Amino acid sequence: MAETRLIQGRYQLLDRIGRGGMGEVWRARDESLGRHVAVKCLKPLGPQHEPSYLRVLRERFRREARVAASLQHRGITVVHDFGESDGVLYLVMELLDGRNLSQLLEDNKQHPLPVPEVVEIAEQVGAALAYTHRQGIVHRDLKPANIMRLTDGTVKICDFGIARLGHDIGFTARLTGTGIAMGTPHYMSPEQIGAGSVDHRSDLYSLGCVLYEIATGAPPFDMDDAWAVLVGHRDTAPRPPRELRPELPEEFERVVLDLLAKDPDDRPDDATELVRRVTGTWPRREAGLAARSPMSLSDGVPRPPRETVSRPDGQPRLPAWARHMTTGSKAAGTGPVPAAPPDPAASLTGSWTTPWGRHGDGPLAPFEPPVPVGPAGPGTAARTPAPGGADTGRPRTVPERRTAVSARTAPGATAVRHGASLAGAPPAPVPRPSVPHPAHAVDPRRPAPRTAGAERPPPAAPPSPEQLADLAARHSGGLRLGRAGRWAEAGEAHRAVVAERERLLGPDHPDTLASRYEVAFSLSRLGRPEEALREFVRTAAARSRVLGADHPDTLAARQETAYVLGQLGRHFEAREVYADVLAARERIMGPDHPDTLRCGHNLAFSLSRLGRLEDSYRMARDVAAARARVLGPDHPDTLVTRYEVAYALGQLERWEEALRTYREVAASRARVLGADHPDTLAARYEAGICLGRLGRSAEALELYRTLIEDRTRVQGPAHPDTLRARHGLGVNLGRLGRWEEALAEARDVCAIRARVLGADHPDTLVSRREVAVGLGWLGRWTDALAVYRDVAQARQRVLGADHPDALASRNDEAHCLEQLGRTAEAAELYRQVAALRQTRNARR
């Protein structure tokens, strides 16, 4: 595309003004309208990606682009157009004349901006965020480089939707050419760092970091160690800004400190409250002040020297795992951006995760917002409900992961991620590998990255037995912390042991790699899959070199790599790794070895996520039969895979077989795990789904009533699983013609879901649609039309006008119009839906 310099015969690329991990930004001319624009060209969609995955990427891009284009506010960069040209996705935006806040600070020699400027920026950014948050849209990557101050004084937020798009697609490097890493830790909220739920209050925290920096000259946690910065966000109170700059208004300081509260509930309720509080903290700016050049910002403003914002004395000692790490560039860096070392994940995934155009073009982002885990019970993961099927969207079995053989479990014992319990399950005997700590490696056919210390000379003298014993004891202590669920402490302990073992034994010694494997495992359990992926890949590569590509420890590490790829939504890559590891395990260990079967289970899950339902069913069926033969029919691992078999049967519309399997799994789990175990309750819920699909609504109703009582007692009345069961109850009330009761249930569930999950959450929208269904069956078509339209607008706003869910809602609208006798309007709406569907299918 860069060779022709013309996109879609309309946008003439003139010169590149930015480059980053997701692509390039060009100044361009819109030949149709004769204006200059900015064009952001994302990375090419290469042939190494399978068509089903590429369709997902394109759909997510269209969704995020539509969200960005729908924003109409003077404080938000305008998106004019978007599309795809020669495999490159692009966004066309207004070309801004100004400087971002990072550049303003750099122009001002890292001194803070004048107080009136800071207050006005706070007001304008707050107003823009108040608008976007009312639309249900969260930026997720607010930082100085994403806030532009134009020459006329207008302040605009850039790159709405890009942070989430980059995360969804799997980019790991920068967005722009400013040298800013996406997910730079200086501006991340504690809930982003800790894998918590992220909402509009995360943006408010990031804004607090930005305001702190432009008001004092440095971000609130200005340390050279990335882990130290993250720990500061999580655990340390920021130094009050007025200690660094006394002329700041007291109320402004209170606002900033409130924005930086660790608990989202302690921050301002919304950006509107922020604007109200900021307004009046400083006299209004005089006319013409906004037009001054950036260099004039220093006129007459007293500033503390740069060193006054260094780490205060008495700060809590940082944990050992936070040492010897780097932050990358914060937004207001003063020097050139250093080149980053090669990303080890590239050896697994190819150039998709490396900067476009050349390697080493700026730093990789070491910290990206983690993937939130859905509110699922143990052994399950939340599946987004489809809007039309009121009883779809059930919890789903997740892939299994292997725990460390060394000390976490007995050899051969398994653990299912998110808590599928193995209590009381006897471990199957597994031959102990020659090196007593499992790990895995990347594909040996690819070049293996060297570790940072790989070229060090060997130690002058061997370590003493006392040193080795101490390290072994500390390693075992870390494992005990992990077994107790204290993963942050476990990771700290293992990171300290890694450093010592690397110094005494070398970076490629099996004991060093065993501890590095545990560091990665802890990161994964803490919801930090990007970091875990890097550590697993590094460990896998080293074990492949030292032990061989087919060693059990190497295969174990590669399997963990696949698991984390699945956590990140990169299922086609996970599938490839699982398939490769499975072939090696079958060849070396045999088809019935527990580790082979575990890999087969995970491969079945990945196939399902890629839409290969028949393949997924056959693989899961074979693994379940083998596990029953090897481990026993009631072993938790066997039941997990039988649950996956039942799910695949349902997806294939084989509801009788699915019902029978779910009931058998529920009965076995009740015996093995207990009647109230979340996995047991999940299997009972799935049986209710099957009964409804088979038209046996009276039986489903009875099942759901009992299940709701049990889930309310065990999980609470507002737990998503409890609400899911109540939703199923309402659906089956309607199927039995009891529409008044169904409508009341749907309204109650909708209200609770809106409060707990958010007004535009897919589950909430499903319940709102069910309210409209009930109104229609009761003949209240005017009321139903209003609700259907509300759902359709929300889905269009969030998903895009041509998303299948949005199209289904528009069809609901048309049906209501028909019932009201407004046939001409209904026909036109049907025509629009058909055209959108045809266009969508043509693109696919």
Is 330 labelled a binding residue?
Answer: no
Highest mean pLDDT among 96-110, 161-175, 260-274: 260-274
What pLDDT band is residue 285 in, cutting at 50, 70 and 90? very low
141 is a catalytic site residue: yes
DSSP assignment, residue 146?
G
Residue 758 near residue 764, CB atoms below 8 Å: yes
Q: Phi and psi at residue 738, in whole multiples of 5°?
A: -95, 70
Residue 1 in this model has a pLDDT that exceeds 50: no
Residue 523 in this model has a pLDDT that exceeds 90: yes
List helix spans (H) across 673-738. Answer: 678-693, 697-715, 720-735
- Report residue 530 as tokens: 């990007």
Question: What is the side-by-side strand order in the sheet with 11-20?
Answer: 6-7, 11-20, 23-30, 35-44, 88-94, 79-85
Residue 208 near residue 278, CB atoms below 8 Å: no
**Bridge partners of residue 23, in order along the sequence:** 20, 42
Instruction: State the amino acid at position 350 in one-letter form.
Output: G
Residue 356 near residue 43, CB atoms below 8 Å: yes
Residue 545 in this model has a pLDDT that exceeds 70: yes
Going by C-beta distance under 8 Å and a sequence separation of 6 or more, which residues neighbour residue 455?
Answer: none
Percent of the chain predicted with pLDDT > 90? 43
3-class SS of residue 149: strand
- Report residue 778 as tokens: 């009761």
Using one digit for the tens of pLDDT, what is the confidence trace for 659-717?
A: 999 999 999 999 988 999 999 999 999 999 999 999 999 999 999 999 999 999 999 99
- Report residue 486 as tokens: 């204290």
Residue 116 near residue 282, CB atoms below 8 Å: yes
- CA nearest 680: which of 485, 423, 427, 483? 423
DSSP assignment, residue 90?
E
Residue 679 near residue 378, CB atoms below 8 Å: yes
Type and span of the H or E element at 416 = strand 415-416
Distance (Å, whole) CA 514 – CA 506? 12
Using one digit for the tens of pLDDT, what is the confidence trace for 118-170?
A: 999 999 999 999 988 888 888 888 999 889 999 878 899 988 766 555 444 44
SS3 for 298-364, per residue? Answer: HCCCCCCCHHHHCCCCCCCCCCHHHCCCCCCCCCCCCCCCCCCCCCCCHHHHHHHHCCCCCCCCCCC
Provide the residue count of the chain: 844
Residue 639 in this model has a pLDDT that exceeds 80: yes
Name the one residue in this structure whose structure tokens are 């400027």.
117
Query: Between 488 and 173, where is the model more confident?
Result: 488
Using one digit for the tens of pLDDT, what is the confidence trace for 766-825?
A: 999 999 999 999 999 999 999 999 999 999 988 888 888 889 889 999 999 989 999 899
What pLDDT is stored for residue 281 in this prediction? 64
Q: Rg of the chain over CA atoms, in angstroms?
A: 28
Q: Determine the average pLDDT of the residues in 12-25.
A: 80
Residue 71 near residue 131, CB atoms below 8 Å: yes
Q: Rounded to 5 degrees, what angle do the CA atoms 56, 61, 62 make? A: 100
Mean pLDDT of the chain: 76
What pLDDT is stored for residue 817 in this prediction? 92
- Report residue 776 as tokens: 């229609």
Percent of the chain predicted with pLDDT > 70? 72
Q: Determine the average pLDDT of the residues in 75-104.
A: 88
Q: Phi and psi at residue 85, in whole multiples of 5°?
A: -140, 120
DSSP assignment, residue 74?
T
In CATH terms, the fold of domain 6-94 is Phosphorylase Kinase; domain 1 (3.30.200)
What pLDDT band is residue 199 in, cutting at 50, 70 and 90? confident
What pLDDT is stored for residue 400 in this prediction? 62
Distance (Å, whole) CA 259 – CA 588? 56
Residue of 30, 81, 86, 141 marked active site: 141
Q: What is the DSSP string of 99-111?
A: EEHHHHHHHTTTP
What pLDDT is stored for residue 153 in this prediction? 83
Name the one residue in this structure whose structure tokens are 């929208």.
765
Residue 3 in this model has a pLDDT that exceeds 60: no
CA 599 from chain centre, in angstroms, equals 24
What pLDDT band is residue 436 in, cutting at 50, 70 and 90? very low
What pLDDT band is residue 50 in, cutting at 50, 70 and 90? low
What pLDDT is stored for residue 844 in this prediction? 55
Distance (Å, whole) CA 563 – CA 586? 19
Using one digit for the tens of pLDDT, what is the confidence trace for 718-759?
A: 999 999 999 999 999 999 999 999 999 999 999 999 999 999
Name the one residue in this structure whose structure tokens are 């294939």.
652
Tell me if the pTM is above 0.75.
no
Using one digit for the tens of pLDDT, what is the confidence trace for 607-617?
A: 988 888 899 99
Using one digit for the tens of pLDDT, what is the confidence trace for 366-423?
A: 222 222 223 233 333 333 333 233 333 343 444 664 333 232 222 222 233 322 322 2
What pLDDT band is residue 299 in, cutting at 50, 70 and 90? very low
Helix 162-169 crosses helix 51-70 at what angle (to 10 degrees)? 170
Residue 353 near residue 344, CB atoms below 8 Å: no
* CA end-to-end distance (rounded Å), the chain: 21
Name the one residue in this structure whose structure tokens are 């939707």.
161
Question: What does the CA dihedral 784, 786, 792, 796 come to, rounded to 10 degrees?
Answer: 180
DSSP assignment, residue 85?
E
Residue 437 in this model has a pLDDT that exceeds 90: no
DSSP assignment, residue 198?
-
Query: Between 439 and 663, where is the model more confident?
Result: 663
CA 702 from chain centre, in angstroms, equals 37
